C-alpha cells in the first residue's frame, strides 16, 4: 500500500476569512485531508509583518482556527495548529535565510505590493517573509502545497532554497510540488471585479464567512456589474457579472452556461438575489458550527495544544537534522 503524501498550507489571521478563501482554498483543504497527511497552519508570525493590535490578533487567531474547523478541517484527521506555537518555524527560517540570496527576495512581487501599501513600515520581516514561508513548508517534509496562481512565485523560491540546501549539505529536504485544485476558483472583489477578493480590502468588497444574511444581501446588491442588462459569462468584457456567475457555479456545481440559460431575459437584480440566496444557504451550516465552536474556548485551547505537540514532533525532527548538517553543536 502506497504511503500517503504530506501536504501543508497556511492562512493568515489578519482579517475575517472570505467567501473567496472558502471557494478557492478552505473547502478543498477539507476534501484533501483524508487523502494526505495534512498540516494546516494559522500563520500568525506572517501576520505581524504589518502592524497588528495585539488583543485583536489573539482574537482573530482563535477565530480563524475555529472557522477552519467549521469549514470541515477535522483536528482528529488533520494537524491544525498555530504557527507561533511551534518555534521551529522561526529557527529554521534563520538557517534558510543564510542560504537565500538577496536578489531572489528583491524579485518577490508580494514584497513590492505590500511595500507600496505600507510605505511607513517596510520592515525586514516583510522582506524575508518568503523564507519563513519556505520554512513552514520544508519543516514537514511536504510533498505537495495547494496553491493558487498568486502563490507560484513563493513556492518556486521554496523549491530553489530546498534544492540549494540539499546540494550543499546532502539530502535533507523534500522538494515540494504544487497541487493545483481541480475545483473552486478565483472569486473577485465585489467592487473591483478585476482584482481577487481580499480580506485586507474595504469591507464592502468581500463577503465574510461570518456575515449575516442581511449583510450578504446588502453587499451583493451593491456589487459592480455594467451598463448592459444581458446576463452572460464574459470575464473580459463583463467581469462583475461573470464574477457573480462564478460564485453561483462554484457553490452549486452548475455550469455558467446553464446558469445563463436559466436566467435568460432576466435582469441583474434577479441575478444578485440568486447569488445572495445561494451564498446564504451555502454558509449557513458552517456559520452554525462556527458559533458552536467559538463558544467552547476550552475545547479550542485543547485542540491547539494537542495539534502544536503533534506538529512540533515532526518539526523538531527536521530541525535537528538541519542543525547537524550545518554543524551546530548538539544540545546534551
Q: Are residues 178 and 263 in the same domain?
A: no
CATH code of the domain covering residue 307: 3.40.50.620
- 205 lies in some domain: no
Looking at residue 244, what is its pLDDT? 97
| Share above pLDDT 70 across residues of the chain, in percent, rounded to a whole number | 97
Question: Structural domain tally of the chain?
Answer: 2
- Could you say which of 152, 196, 291, 317 is catalytic? 196
Does residue 196 carry a catalytic annotation?
yes
- 195 lies in some domain: no
Q: Are residues 72 and 160 in the same domain?
A: yes
**In this model, does residue 120 exceed pLDDT 90?**
no
Looking at residue 153, what is its pLDDT? 87
- 162 lies in some domain: yes
Does residue 317 carry a catalytic annotation?
no
Q: Going edge to edge, which strands form the sheet with 79-82?
A: 79-82, 37-42, 6-11, 144-146, 177-179
**In this model, does residue 149 exceed pLDDT 70?**
no
- Could you say which of 114, 219, 238, 272 is catalytic? 114
Size of the chain, expressed as the number of residues it contains = 332
Confidence of residue 1 (pLDDT cuts 50, 70, 90): low
Does residue 114 carry a catalytic annotation?
yes
118 vs 56: which has the higher pLDDT: 56
Pairing status of strand 177-179 against strand 144-146: parallel
- 69 lies in some domain: yes
Q: Are residues 103 and 169 in the same domain?
A: yes
**In this model, does residue 103 exceed pLDDT 70?**
yes
- 331 lies in some domain: no
Under 8 Å between Cβ of 156 and 107: no
Q: Are residues 286 and 301 in the same domain?
A: no
- 216 lies in some domain: yes
Q: Are residues 29 and 79 in the same domain?
A: yes
Supply the pTM of this predicted model: 0.92
The mean pLDDT of 243-259, rounded to a whole number, is: 96
Which three cell numbers mark 164?
540549494
- 196 lies in some domain: no
Pairing status of strand 79-82 against strand 177-179: unpaired
Instruction: Please write the tens of the pLDDT for every residue from 292-308.
Output: 999 999 999 999 999 99
Q: Are residues 101 and 57 in the same domain?
A: yes
- 120 lies in some domain: yes
Q: Are residues 23 and 54 in the same domain?
A: yes
Instruction: Please write the tens of the pLDDT for every residue from 186-230.
Output: 899 999 998 888 877 777 889 999 999 999 999 999 999 999 999
- Could you say which of 112, 152, 199, 310 is catalytic? 199
- What is the domain extent for residue 246? 210-292
Amino acid at each position: 500500500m502506497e504511503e500517503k503524501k504530506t501536504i501543508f498550507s497556511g492562512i493568515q489571521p489578519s482579517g475575517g476569512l472570505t467567501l473567496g478563501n472558502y471557494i478557492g482554498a478552505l473547502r478543498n483543504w477539507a476534501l484533501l485531508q483524508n487523502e494526505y497527511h495534512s498540516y494546516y497552519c494559522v500563520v500568525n508570525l506572517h501576520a505581524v509583518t504589518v502592524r497588528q493590535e495585539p488583543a485583536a490578533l489573539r482574537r482573530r487567531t482563535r477565530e480563524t482556527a475555529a472557522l477552519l474547523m467549521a469549514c470541515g478541517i477535522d483536528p482528529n484527521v488533520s494537524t491544525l495548529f498555530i504557527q507561533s506555537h511551534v518555534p521551529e518555524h522561526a529557527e529554521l527560517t534563520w538557517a534558510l535565510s543564510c542560504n537565500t540570496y538577496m536578489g531572489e527576495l528583491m524579485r518577490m512581487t508580494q514584497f513590492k505590493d505590500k511595500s507600496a501599501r505600507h510605505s511607513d513600515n517596510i520592515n525586514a520581516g516583510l522582506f524575508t517573509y518568503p523564507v519563513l514561508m519556505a520554512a513552514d513548508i520544508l519543516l514537514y517534509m511536504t510533498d505537495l502545497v495547494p496553491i493558487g496562481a498568486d502563490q507560484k512565485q513563493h513556492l518556486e523560491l521554496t523549491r530553489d532554497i530546498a534544492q540549494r540546501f540539499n546540494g550543499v549539505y546532502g539530502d535533507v529536504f523534500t522538494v515540494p510540488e504544487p497541487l493545483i485544485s481541480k475545483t473552486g476558483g478565483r472569486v473577485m472583489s465585489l467592487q473591483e471585479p478585476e482584482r481577487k477578493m481580499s480580506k485586507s480590502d474595504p469591507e464592502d468588497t468581500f463577503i465574510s464567512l461570518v456575515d449575516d444574511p442581511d449583510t450578504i444581501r446588502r453587499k451583493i446588491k451593491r456589487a459592480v456589474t455594467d451598463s448592459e442588462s444581458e446576463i452572460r459569462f464574459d470575464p473580459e468584457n463583463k467581469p462583475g457579472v461573470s464574477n457573480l456567475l462564478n460564485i453561483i457555479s462554484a457553490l452549486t456545481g452548475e455550469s455558467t452556461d446553464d446558469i445563463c440559460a436559466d436566467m435568460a431575459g432576466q435582469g441583474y437584480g434577479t441575478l444578485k438575489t440568486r447569488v445572495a440566496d445561494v451564498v446564504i444557504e451555502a454558509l449557513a451550516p458552517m456559520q452554525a458550527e462556527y458559533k458552536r465552536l467559538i463558544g467552547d474556548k476550552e475545547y479550542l485551547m485543547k485542540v491547539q495544544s494537542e495539534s502544536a505537540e503533534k506538529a512540533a514532533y515532526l518539526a523538531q525532527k527536521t530541525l535537528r537534522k538541519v542543525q547537524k548538517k550545518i554543524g551546530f553543536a548538539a544540545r546534551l
